[in-house]
Structure 1
Amino acid sequence: MTSLKRRTVLSALAAAPLISPFSAWAQATTLKISHQFPGGTLTEGDFRDRLCRMFAAEVEKRSKGSLKFEIYPGSSLMKTNSQFSAMRKGALDLSLVPLSYAGGEVPEVNIGLMPGLVPSYEVGAAWKTNEIGKELNKLLLDKGIVLISWIWQAGGVASRTKAMIDPDDAKGMKIRGGSREVDMMLKAAGAAVVTLPSNEIYAAMQTGAMDAAMTSSTSLISFRLEEVSKFLTSGRGQSYWYMFEPLMMSKAIFDKLSKDQQATIMAVGAELEAFAIKEAKKDDVLVASVYEKKGAKVVDLAAPSVKKWQAIARTTAWKDYSDRSENCAKFLKLAEKLI
């Protein structure tokens, strides 16, 4: 190559626009979203799966295709309880999973399923912008997790043997609570607790290994527990507990994205929170009709029953959580401010 040609090539390279990080990712970034719930479509099925699909479609659209997604429902990508740890390590991109499932790894997050602490969807939604939400967000960022969508769900109880309304009803029953703290409350009421993720409840109740299960209204429907239950304590109106079940992302993966991509992900995640509350409330009502059609007896909780459970929770679960560390005690006090 002549000297003149070399200078021409070098000049052309120098004048060429630099490829932005956003463009550089355009052909390479497909993110995986994992969850434990039954798969569906954008318009049909478990709203948590639908939310993941809506999130994926909207982010892909706004990022002009630079971000694409693959969704793995029904724990088809990895085991349910492995998701949180995998995100922390950067081995999983995103997951929608009950935060309390990570309580063994990060004790503070058990506050996401603390019986009696969140009395309504409105209080749960208020966490995000108040001190408790800011501290929880900070903690998770320190642990390698980015909160994308703040999602709360009311819980109910499906039972094979009798309706579980007051604490006395739990005596002698084998019950799945869903978190360490809920289990403590149940034990104090005289129950034997069973620990397993929600996608394993059906088999346990079908075989008689478990008498009753506490879980969200949506899971009570999606996992077809009406087929193995004769009683339902619904979560419509009032509930023993509300569960924090957010869409989360690995910070290691999030940090690799461009600022525009990060902003798009956070914006879409926040916009879908209104959809989540609407659908969760809808399922709280729908679950009653689903069980009634199967011949189950459906009961709703009244304030006196909720207060009985809350009184037990204060002296067992709340106290134990607060005693675990200064950080846990701080989280509990901040959450109590909103009650």
Structure 2
Amino acid sequence: MALTRRHVLAGALAAPAVLRFGGSAAAATTLKISHQFPGGSLDEGDFRDRLCRKFAAEVEKRTGGALKAEVYPGSSLMKTNAQFAALRKGALDMSLYPISYAGGEVPECNIGLMPGLVSSYRQGMAWKTAPIGREFGDFLASKGVMILTWLWQAGGVASREKPLVAPEDARGMKVRGGSREMDLVLQAAGAAVLSLPSNELYAAMQTGACDAGITSSTSLISFRLEELAKHLTTGRGKAYWYMLEPLLVSKAVFDKLPKDQQDTLLAVGAEMEAFGVAAAMADDVTVAKVYENAGARIHDLDDATVEKWRAIARVTAWKDYGDKTPHCAKFIKLAGDVQA
């Protein structure tokens, strides 16, 4: 029988593991990194995509090409909400992923977007070496997922018609909060809530299904919400909304790699954190300029307003989370021990 192109393609699709990991010691391993954000380059575009590309380039360099990574932006490899489960099963190698998106599957993950719990980048990054970071990292590993790069982002609010600054502004508005816990706070403030990933926020606001969206400064820029918003509440300086959005690797995939390649992933992942913090903080400032140039009114938070949001969170989101599971109760306590 003649070997046709169709037969070759069919054979390739039937044996992805052979293509990825190779049949000989000399074959390179290629990891796939998925995320939901717009694609760019090493030097331009959404910094989360750039972080993944920088990570991939450095890993390939340090391993002499034995370990490579390909970046798939814009949920082009798989849908956003499917990525965490795929990591757990080893069906996806890596993802830069808002950890709270996994809260429906693993409730403990909602600690990663707990309103009012983290109030600065310094406090968030301190989790990594504090008991909360070690305990949460071990817990994720038990679920089949490992954190390579700790990344926190402050959030702001883009709104179509009226500003959303203080809790009293939320009454009667339809708002995307970004996590179950943020939704509980918004509902307590009188808002209706929508649950959807940030890459679907533009369409929801464009159709009027959503009056305001809370998301990271970088997403407020990358998803072009300034085209729809008349008001922006920034996260520069002060914020009640900080999201843990780490670079993750499937433990099943990680465990199959040789020790030297595992060490490279861990080392490069840790080194990406300085870039991530600096880029996130820069976007907190840049987003205000982008929206101001588009004609939106800019609003900043003060201590009193942040405390209003935190006061609601303590009796709604924090309590709800702490009552979910023994792990949740432990995590909320340990996180509270990390000083601002």
Correspondences of 1:138-153 after superposition (within 5 Å): 138-153=138-153
Give SS of 2:153's match: strand
Q: Which residue of 2 aligns with 1:187?
A: 187
Q: Distance in 2 between matches of 1:190 and 1:159?
A: 16
% of aligned pairs identical?
68
On the 8 A contact 2:46/2:218 being kept in 1, the answer is yes
Question: How far 1:119 moved relative to its partner?
Answer: 0.7
Amino acid at match of 1:220: L
Q: Which residue of 2 aligns with 1:137?
A: 137
Give SS of 2:265's match: helix
Deviations 1:59-79 (A, max 9, x none): 000011001111110000000
Correspondences of 1:40-189 after superposition (within 5 Å): 40-189=40-189
> How many residue pairs get matched?
319
Gaps of 5+ in 1: 1-20
Distance 1:25 1:188, change over 3 A: farther
Question: How far 1:327 moved relative to its partner?
Answer: 1.2
Q: Which residue of 2 aligns with 1:250?
A: 250
Deviations 1:169-223 (A, max 9, x none): 0000000000000000000000000110000000000111100000000000000
Amino acid at match of 1:67: L
Q: Which residue of 1 aligns with 2:289?
A: 289
Q: Which residue of 2 aligns with 1:39?
A: 39
Q: Which residue of 1 aligns with 2:305?
A: 305
Give SS of 2:256's match: coil
TM-score by length of 2: 0.92
Q: Distance in 1 between matches of 2:118 and 2:314?
A: 13
Question: How far 1:162 moved relative to its partner?
Answer: 1.0
Q: Which residue of 2 aligns with 1:217?
A: 217
Deviations 1:236-267 (A, max 9, x none): 00012110000000000000100000000000
Question: How far 1:335 moved relative to its partner?
Answer: 0.3
Give SS of 2:148's match: strand
Q: Distance in 1 between matches of 2:24 and 2:259?
A: 13
Q: Which residue of 2 aligns with 1:9?
A: none
On the 8 A contact 2:160/2:205 being kept in 1, the answer is yes
Give SS of 2:82's match: helix
On the 8 A contact 1:22/1:257 being kept in 2, the answer is no
Query: Which aligned segments of 4 or more residues in structure 1 are displaced greater than 2 angstroms?
Result: 21-26
Question: How far 1:28 moved relative to its partner?
Answer: 3.8
Q: Distance in 2 between matches of 1:52 and 1:59?
A: 11
- Tell me if 1:318 matches 2:301: no
Q: Which residue of 2 aligns with 1:277?
A: 277
On the 8 A contact 2:118/2:240 being kept in 1, the answer is no
Amino acid at match of 2:161: T
Q: Which residue of 2 aligns with 1:13?
A: none
Q: Which residue of 2 aligns with 1:235?
A: 235
Deviations 1:292-330 (A, max 9, x none): 000000010000000000000000000000111121111
CA RMSD of aligned residues (A): 1.3
On the 8 A contact 1:58/1:268 being kept in 2, the answer is yes
Give SS of 1:112's match: helix
On the 8 A contact 1:184/1:316 being kept in 2, the answer is yes
TM-score by length of 1: 0.93
Amino acid at match of 1:155: G
Distance 1:263 1:23, change over 3 A: farther
Give SS of 1:156's match: strand
Give SS of 2:104's match: coil
Give SS of 1:237's match: coil
